[in-house]
A and B are shown apart, each in its own frame.
Chain A
Amino acid sequence: MLRKFNNSRTIKENIQLGSLTAFSAGMVNVTSVIIFFAFTSNVTGHYAILAEEVSKGNWYQAAVVFAWIFMFFAGNFCSNLIIINFNRINTYAAHAAPLTIEIICLLVVGTYGQFFYKETLNETEILVALMLFAMGIQNGLTASISNFSVKTTHLTGLTTDLGLLTSMFTKKEYRENKSLRARASVLFAIATSYLSGGIFAGIVYQQIGFMVFYIASLVIGIIICYEYYKIKIRKMVWNKKKKSLKYKTPVMSRP
């Protein structure tokens, strides 16, 4: 999921990465709507609200929404900045770092909300900003490493693409196009996971409150650990092969 970059990625890897990240994004978004009455994984609505608040002359609210949009932008910026600067040194680390930052943000929101949140307006604004930053980081990472084919929080674009693809599949020539079918599978997996994450969070929140963010962090943690485990296994297999070749070589070279 995290080791490969751009065009070297398989459909399976894109589905795995897209599904898991979309599941956590759905969880975060629904929880923030329930608690804070603000969306945190999509910014289209925030642009509309910003325009509305500016036109009404509500400058304080406009500033808040502007800051939220900026935080989402900053998340994407940081994520890609890490990737493009460290990708050549260690691809896995460059891809895991943004997810680690995302986990830290979600853990901060979860812990603060569970133990310190007094429901003041300032706290709400800052926590929403932090979640938007986390979602920006995640969206930036998935979009960047999948060559812009996976965007886990951008469901407007995803639904548009799904609509286009579905209409294309009415023609046989497109139905038989493997890359189009694969793209549709990725998009469908993301949409389903996002929705499932949202429903799951909506149900679980009633029982565990802010601890939902720990589960969202855990889902992201699974991606990092799974990849690390795969790298270890690969290394082990490679080392074994290397060893067996080492022992075989002298036998082969005997006269």
Chain B
Amino acid sequence: MKKKKYNPKIRLIYFLAFGGCLTLFVLMSALSPAPDTVILGKWQEVSWEYEKLPDAKEASLSKAISNTVKNEITRDLVIHRAETWEFLPGGKLLLHLEEKSTPLHWTLKSRGNILKLDHEKTSPEHYNLQVLNEDEMILYFNTDLQAKGIAKMKFKKIHHKDYAQKIQ
């Protein structure tokens, strides 16, 4: 059987198209760092509020979550009353509350938009990583407490410039 040869022009078009896709991928990857590196560091809890409310009546009220409700929502969660979250390399997370800290294991799932927290004593918890940049982190999670919708946790990064200058 005679072997058919592909047209060199067609070959070039295919080569350029696949090469273009690869270049686009490399460029996009290089434009911003991976979420598992951006998340590293200390994050201070800033606010708690509802992102979605089930009905219009409740939506017209304030979306802010009071401390009492917050404690109620997180009662069974591993993040209960944590004020500062410290993400360390190797999947270690320290939840700080005053002088006490709880060690956990963290991983990112999917395209880096799902934060999974593992604790030896409880089942894994999943949070939706809605916003993550050098200064801000916003986590969503579903809560069925009082038939409320999605809770939104805002964090700001604690930059340790002074510390970095000291060790130089």
Contacts and interface: CB of A to CB of B under 8 A. Distances in A.
B28 A120 contact: no
A62 B110 CA distance: 12
Contacts of B113: 37, 61
A121 B108 contact: yes
A37 B129 CA distance: 13
Given A60-B28, A67-B25, A70-B21, A120 B107 contact: yes
A192 B1 CA distance: 43
Contacts of B109: 36-38, 119, 121, 124
A49 B33 CA distance: 18
Interface in A29-43: 36-38
B110 A36 contact: yes
A37 B108 CA distance: 10
A58 interface: yes
Nearest to B31: A59
B110 A60 contact: no
Contacts of B19: none
Contact of A63 (B28, B108, B116): B28
Nearest to A73: B21
A125 interface: yes
B91 A60 contact: no
Nearest to A118: B91
A108 interface: no
A20 interface: no
Contact of B114 (A37, A49, A59, A120): A37
A181 to B, nearest CB: 40
B29 A63 contact: yes
Contacts of A57: 32
A53 B35 CA distance: 13
Contacts, number: 68
B36 A66 contact: no
Contacts of A63: 25, 28-29, 31
A53 B130 CA distance: 11
A54 to B, nearest CB: 9
Contacts of A59: 28-29, 31-32
Nearest to A124: B109
Interface residues of B, number: 23
Contact of A70 (B25, B29, B31, B126): B25
B22 to A, nearest CB: 9
Given A36-B110, A38-B111, A60 B25 contact: no
B-side binding surface: helix, strand, loop or mixed? mixed
B107 A60 contact: no
B114 A60 contact: no
A124 B109 CA distance: 7
Given A38-B111, A120-B107, A62 B91 contact: no
B24 A66 contact: yes
B158 interface: no
A60 B21 contact: no
A91 B47 CA distance: 63
B103 interface: no
Contact of A60 (B29, B116, B126): B29
A65 B110 CA distance: 10
Contacts of A36: 109-110
Q: Which of B24, B28, B29, B31 gathers the greatest number of chain A CB atoms within 10 Å?
A: B28
Contacts of A120: 36, 91, 107
Given A38-B109, A120-B36, A121-B34, 8 more contacts: A37-B110, A38-B111, A59-B29, A59-B31, A62-B28, A70-B25, A88-B1, A121-B109
List the 6 closest pairs (A to B, CB-CB), nearest first.
A63-B28, A59-B31, A37-B110, A119-B107, A63-B29, A59-B32
12 contacts: A36-B109, A36-B110, A37-B110, A38-B110, A49-B111, A57-B32, A58-B32, A59-B29, A60-B29, A60-B34, A60-B112, A120-B107
